[in-house]
Structure 1
Amino acid sequence: MDIVTYEILRSSLFATAREMKLAMMRTAGSPIVHSGGDASAAVFDAEMQLVAQGNDIPTMLGSAVISTRASVEAIGRDRLRPGDVIVSNDVYLGGGNHQPDVQFTRPVFLDGEIIAFVMTRGHWSDIGGQLPGSYTTLTWDVFAEGIRIPPVLLYRDDRPVEDLVTLILQNTRDPAVRLLDMQAQYAGCVVGDRRITEIARRYGKDALAAAMRRALDHSERLMRAALRAIPDGVYEAEDAIEPVTGPAGWSRDPVPIRVKITKQGDGIHFDYAGSGAQARGGINCPFSVTCNSTWFTVKAITDVTIPINQGCYRPVTISAPEGSILNCTFPAPVVAGNTETSPRIIDLLLKALSAAVPERVVGQSNCGAFSGVFGGMDPDAARVAATGRRFVGMIDPHAGGMGARATKDGVNGVRVYVGNAGSSAVEIIEQTSPVRVEEWSLVPDTGGAGTWRGGLTSRRVYRVAYDEATFTVCGERGIHPPLGQFGGAAGATFRCEVTRDGQVTQVPAKGGHEIVHAGDRVVLQPAGSGGYGNPRDRDRTRLRDDLLDGYVSAEALTRDYGLTAEDAAAMLAEAAAHG
């Protein structure tokens, strides 16, 4: 195959994945999907190897390497027909990442032969379970996290299996919106099927298969070359996951996580032996999530321009003790393993690899979705009449700080690592739910000081308009702050509080929920991030600009950056002169 034809085919596969996600976002019912983009799409070859993906949610796409094969094998390849769609969200039977993320898998046929598979995955903002939003860590086992869907056929011959659709929808709190999300994911799969079929008809299915093989091999070669540039050696690190704030009798001890990385030649092995046992509460990681976090880190420290497909992962081997927090077994709960523990794994790996590739690592980051979740009956009669929905759930992922880099400051107000969904637009929140956003701002001094400053976190303040609702938050770094690299200072920890009738209640990052009422005020502030390098070496012009931008307070000049009182006064005067 000539290079031009190959590049057309390869690029068409990536364009297909992007178009599939757009089809989902344009037709979904949940704001977290159609506005926040918490959805992903990918194309797999006939052997269920990931060959192309969109610029979507890394934690969905990495675990899909495992869950797509698990879905097809559970149904049986020989049972599949054109127009079939497999649904699954089960982490134990289907290889998923957590139950709110529901995967649709569709075989693509041409002339009676499977030539590819396409996959869509979306975050359903309620799948039943213990609390509205299906997003609490205070769970005894996986059954409290919502309906478990093993790999089953949801569409047969492009017709929904109505009894199964009914069973799934009626186990959620807002079935009308779930139906729209379900149909949106189906639409994404149909778009993928059509595009792949068009490509195969135009160029031939043998050419398509050859291009897929070549794309996998090409990414593998580039990844092996990138790994050879990393010094051989053994690199180790340890950290601890903050426990769930549960009832009496639950452990309050942090759960250790450890890694030993062996880099040799063009291969790299990650051994998580020594990590703590799976814990009470939904902070455990299925093995698919640990693999995803590991693959993401390898990609981040090597070459981000390598086309992402399963070939990138061939040089990487991973082991984690069964029954540990990083390879949990049934029926351990997992909802925040995917969003909070997973990025902590990445920080652990960056800590270990800082000795090998100091220029490629960053200070520790906010490490979580920090999702604020409201759920209750809508008191707005006009909105209920217009939408036909009495129950309204609102889930809002939050943006914290990303750690400083070797040559740049960290990033303010951003989701990091494997989370790539956006915070909900204020206008959409206020239009669709009984919640008002009174403040959305960056918080000074939350990024750790350093030669390069850590990124600041953001803060949102909500005013509740529900008559009565649940408020749940799921976060990380409420106890231990995100540390800096190479002398950089730590960033700020998580903060959340509910104010009612003048009384303030502190809400832990991992714990129960609060019942809120009209007029209550909720503050949600994710963790900041760590700095990079000695703060005393920060360029004084940059520090002055931080003052002007409101990123650093006057008190931080002496407290965090070591300026003398005289130098601090002079800088304040200079900043004032600049406006």
Structure 2
Amino acid sequence: MSIAIEKDSVRVELIRDLNESEFADRYGCDRYTATVLGNRFDYLVEHMSVRLLTGAFSPVLRDFYDLACTVSAPPTLGYQVPAASNGIVLMAGTTIDAVANTVEEFGAENLGPGDVLISNDPYRTGNHNNDLLFVRPVFHDGKIAAFVNLNAHQLDMGGTVPGGFSASKQNVYENGLVLSPRLLMRAGQPVAESWNVIFDNVRMAEILYPDMLTVCSSLDLGERLVLESIERYGLAAVHGTMKYVCDMGAERMATSLAELPDGDWYGSEQIDCDGVDDTEDYRIRVAVRKRATRIEVDFSGTSRQARSSINATAWDTKTSVGIALKYLFDPHGRFNSGLYRDVDIVLPEGTLLSALPPDGCVFMYFEQSQAILGALLRALADAVGPAALAGDRGSADLHTAFGTHADGTPWVSALQCGGEIGPYGANQFGDADTQCMAYEANGVAPAIEAIEKDSPAVIMRHEPRIDSAGPGHFRGGASMIRDTLWLEDATHSLTELRYKSSAGFGVHGGGAGQRGGIWSFGPRDDGAITPPDTSPESFARGEAWAGVIDPTTNLPSEQGQFIYPFRAGANRSIVNSVIRYLTNAGGGWGDPLSRDPNKVLVDVRDGYVSVAGAARDYAVVIVGDPDTDPEGLTVDESATAALRRTATAED
């Protein structure tokens, strides 16, 4: 692809303008073959994912889909990544640089057929220690033709906290086992010293060991599919298609940016605190500058790296930038390395988003990644106009609990019983979903039956909260409320950092979603279970563990008191306690007064909006009782018209 600037306009010479001979000279095959192979790369990474998903023992892999597969070009082609799986895009995006970093440090010349190279150091590979990168070179005629890669979360990688999920770790030595690039398999055989160093340092080896074997099996499958592609279509066509797919990604991004007027835009997001205390303010600041077909994303002015493990690395920041730009400018097609070709990122060292060891401890990178996305969506909301995306809940709301069974056996419930499932923000195409992962996760919801089988927990409630969604012409997703009964004493690790400001911001005239929090409800003095209901009054008898909370009602409130979530010795529950998660809600899109009254009626019938909320937020008068006669609800059209005239005049 080539770009030519002509005075005030941008002319983009497209790949589709190449004639057949020019295309074949550039990509080593015809268009049809390139299309087939491009889709085959997608097929390849999805089949690698499925093999691990169907064989995994860890609930984080099996139920949460906390993995990503990619295929990379050889060093001679710059490690280009033409395909990423539909897993956790935060993990797929970092492999664009992580594979190159890992292979270059180890030495491509030191690799052979059947090898598997691993690394998990966040400063080399991004993400956190539990995300172990597996890289398998694919050899053809004695040379590396490609790499197949799998980035998979391991249930534990050592450190001070089982499972690793803690905001209070203050340096890399507390964080867990760090693996520099090394071989796990040599010529198809285990490298004993690598396996030993892992299992000498981690908990729950009985789960990690079979899962790592399954990862190696997935890499075997990926290698076989690449070699089959080379055998059928030829090495030149496979390498040419890798270039073609990435060139197309770059072309789509450049073409979209060319349509956006040049300009400068600014955004920011607030992080509540770190794991030391809440005395230091952390803020992500971004300036976006677009000229012609290039865009610069500048994080100068972002707060220094935090004092505990809430930091992210430059690789995570780069990934989040790519996700934001793809959402706004190239929503179709796979995430690949080509989309960065016209993107410049300015990121000073030693910030919250570019932490340095040993004190810039990285674990909860996923919280900063989502805040980066929020800052960029805020910055570009006016620039893209109707294409703006409202904020989602802004946090992965990950919850980890751990304890010891009566027989002394340790247990861990990881990423299952918090607010992992929650709302998106609305956009120009319609109302937002309420039961999703975060914008950057794309995982799957753990099954209730699996949670209750593996952990001493009972899921008592999982439902939307009425009147929480950001109002708009299209409504945001509602807060999700989840109550979990814990049948044993437990320690709980919280990861939420987004309560002080509204993460679910509205766009294009839409309103913000309500804020959430976390509460604990202990048993009665005699040990009996007293599960709370969802009425506003029910919150009063709980103990707030996190959020901005009204001291009188114990409900979330913009003017309330911030409850620091990482207090030493806190967040422990006794047997028969209920832990409640209430996620932040998603923002709305467009003027709420323009929402179709019949859509508001459906929301009232379905429990997303109350009768009072319909009048307050949408100026729609609903007649009837949604509890006793939901199908008998009607819109009072004349009263609605009058109320909307009044509301419009007041605006």
TM-score scaled by length of structure 2: 0.83
Which range moves more in the overlay, 538-547 or 289-298? 538-547
Cα distance, 1:575–1:436 mapped onto 2, change above 3 Å: closer
1:323 aligns with 2:350: yes
Counterpart in the other structure of 1:340: 367
Larger deviation: 284-293 or 475-484?
475-484
1:438 corresponds, among 457, 460, 463, to 460
CA displacement 1:187-244 (0-9 Å, x = unmatched): 1111111111111122222221122122222222222112111121111122322212
Q: Quote the residue 1:577 is aligned against.
A: 632
How far off is 1:251 after superposition?
4.5
Identify the residue that residue 374 of structure 1 maps to in structure 2. Answer: 401
Which shifted more, 219-228 or 64-73? Answer: 219-228
- Deviation larger for 37-46 or 352-361: 352-361
**Structure 1 Cα separation of the partners of residues 523 and 283 of structure 2:** 40
Q: Please state if 1:395 is matched with 2:452.
A: no
Aligned partners of 1:288 and 1:97: how far apart in 2?
A: 8
Question: Which of residues 557, 574, 578 is equivalent to 2:614?
Answer: 557
Query: Matched residue of 1:524: which SS?
Result: strand
1: distance between equivalents of 2:44 and 2:429? 36
Pair 1:406–1:571, CA change in 2 (3 A): farther
Question: In structure 2, which of residues 110, 129, 140 is the aligned counterpart of residue 110 of structure 1?
Answer: 140
Partner Cα distance (1:175, 1:576) in 2:
54
Is 1:536 equivalent to 2:536 in the alignment?
A: no
Partner of 2:494: 473
1:349 aligns with 2:366: no
- CA distance in 2: counterparts of 1:406 and 1:143, whole angstroms: 47
Q: How many residues align?
A: 563
The answer to whether 1:29 aligns with 2:57 is yes
Structure 2 SS opposite 1:105: strand
1:511 alignment partner in structure 2: 566
Say if 2:624 and 2:633, in contact at 8 Å, map to a contact too: no
Task: Find the partner of 2:241 among 211, 217, 229.
Answer: 211
Residue 207 of structure 2 is matched in structure 1 by 177
Alpha-carbon distance in 1 for matches of 2:187, 2:200: 24
Instruction: Indicate the residue corresponding to 2:294 in structure 1.
Output: 267
> SS in structure 2 opposite 1:121?
strand
Answer yes or no: is the 8 Å Cα contact 2:275–2:310 preserved in 1.
no
Alignment of 1:34-49 (within 5 A): 34-47=62-75, 48-49=79-80
CA distance in 2, matches of 1:392, 1:276: 33
Q: Between 456-465 and 109-118, report the one with greater CA deviation.
A: 456-465
Q: Which has the larger radius of gyration?
A: 2
Please list the CA deviations of residues 57-108 of structure 1 after superposition, one character each: whole Å capped at 9, or x if unmatched: 110011111111111011111111111111111112x222111211101111
- Post-superposition Cα deviations, 1:142-186, rounded to whole Å, max 9, x if no partner, equal 332222122111111111112221221232221110112211221
Give the CA deviation at 1:322. Answer: 0.8
| Partners of 1:9 and 1:515 in 2: CA distance | 53
Aligned twin of 2:116: 85
Equivalent position of 1:3 in the other structure: 31
Alpha-carbon RMSD across the aligned residues, in angstroms, is 2.1
Q: What is the percentage of aligned positions where both structures have the same residue?
A: 28
Residue pair 1:544, 1:575 contacting (<8 A) in 2 also = no
**1:63-462 counterparts in 2 under 5 A?**
63-92=94-123, 94-244=124-274, 246=276, 250-331=277-358, 332-337=360-365, 339-379=366-406, 391-396=411-416, 398-462=420-484
- CA deviations 1:12-51 (Å, max 9, x no partner) are 1111111111111122111121122111101001122111
| SS of corresponding position for 2:146 | strand
Of residues 479-488 and 110-119 in structure 1, the stretch that sits farther from structure 2 once superposed is: 479-488
* Structure ranking higher on relative contact order (CA contacts 8 Å, 6+ apart): 1
Deviations, residues 379-434 of structure 1 (Å, cap 9, x unaligned):
4x7xx9xxxx7544433261222112134122212112211222311010111221
Distance 1:221 1:534 in 2: 34
Structure 2 residues without counterparts, runs of 5 or longer? 1-28, 525-540, 548-564, 635-651
1:515–1:173 CA distance, 2 compared to 1 (3 A):
farther
Distance, in Å, in 1 between the alignment partners of 2:601 and 2:459 is: 31
Q: Secondary structure at the match of 1:358?
A: helix
Q: Deviations over 1:284-314 (max 9, x none)?
A: 1200011000001111111222443211211
Q: Report the CA distance between 1:570 and its aligned residue.
A: 7.0
* One-letter code aligned to 1:443: R
- Alignment partners' CA distance in 2, 1:121 and 1:257: 27
Deviation of the 1:372 alpha carbon: 1.3
